[in-house]
Homo-oligomer: A and B are copies of this chain.
Amino acid sequence: MYAIAIHGGAGALPWQHLSLELQRRYDSALAVALDRGYAVLADGGSSLDAVTTAVRILEDDPLFNAGRGAALTREGTAELDAAIMDGNTLRAAGVAAVRHVQNPIELARRVMENSRHVLLVGAGAEEFALAEGFELVPNAYFRVPERQAELDLLRGGHSVSELMPVPSGTVGAVARDAHGNLAAATSTGGMADKHPGRVGDSPIIGAGTYARNGACAVSATGHGEFFMRLVAAHHICASVQYRGLSLQEAVHETIHEHLAALGGRGGIIAVDADGRMILDFNTEGMFRAARDSGGRREISL
């Protein structure tokens, strides 16, 4: 059994503002990322390559809060976070607060493969990117009018959900390949109107991103600060490994009990050692999709 699940952010979904046309665009974008990631697995590729592929596609799509189309800081700039983890070797890396790297997930993977470090932030991360041959892009590349409007609304004291479908959106993917290896990847522009230098859960190994063969792989989306305090992704895998909970039970408890108790909102996608996938959230909606070699294929908004 090989399997991949992806998310494109969880949050308030004001359906009255999400036109049928926009719904179709999200559905289509999720389908492309899902099927391209799945194709990697079907070709015998690694879960690591599958999640990288899916996340890179979602980063490139301005519909999602990652890469192009990222949410903006209170100063109007895009600051991007991403992480990746290989459940087989427990190798992992993240980058945070980068402003000029087109695909942060590619940089996170490069940090994992070519550096001795697990987390690089800010200008230092971009120095590494340049040394590795990445071409930097202007910050304006990431900024789209919808995100500027979102920021203006927030500054005006309005709720984001009045305009934007996914305020705390983030993209991510988890996969199990035919060899039984698990992997997770997450990428985000973070919280709209965030303080410059704010880092959320996505690039933090154990908080928003985690993978361990024999346990599970997890990618989170939502109010990152709560996932960080709960060390949510690691907690879910530890619950599967040590408490005998099913993945469904572990994810449900984290979202509907622990996260809710702190007042946090968000969603989780996860896959266990057998390829079973769980996609759960306590927000109005979560852009999500899943496909496996047993014939399951679903896309939901």
B195 touches A128 (CB 8 A): yes
State the Cβ distance, A86 to closest chain B Cβ, in Å: 10
CB of B225 within 8 A of CB of A206, answer: no
Q: 1/0 per residue A89-117: CB within 8 Å of B? A: 01110001100000000000000000111
Query: Are the CB atoms of A197 and B234 closer together than 8 Å?
Result: no
Q: Are B207 and A125 in contact (CB under 8 A)?
A: no
A118–B229 touching, CB < 8 Å: yes
Chain copies in complex: 2
Interface size counted on chain A using CB atoms at 8 A: 43
C-alpha spacing A262/B91, complex, angstroms:
10
CA distance A21 to B136 in the complex (A): 51
Task: Choose, from A3-11, A236-244, A269-277, the stretch at the interface.
Answer: A236-244
Asked if A127 contacts B196 (CB within 8 A), the reply is yes
Is A205 part of the contact surface with B, judged by Cβ < 8 Å? yes
A residues whose Cβ falls under 8 Å from a Cβ of B: 90-92, 96-97, 115-125, 127-128, 194-200, 204-207, 210, 224-225, 228-231, 234-235, 238-239, 242-243, 262
Instruction: Give 24 pairs: A residue, B residue, CB < 8 Å, sorted on A.
Output: A90-B230, A92-B228, A92-B229, A117-B198, A118-B200, A118-B224, A118-B225, A119-B200, A120-B195, A120-B197, A121-B199, A122-B197, A123-B197, A124-B198, A127-B195, A128-B197, A204-B206, A205-B231, A206-B207, A206-B228, A231-B231, A234-B234, A234-B235, A242-B243
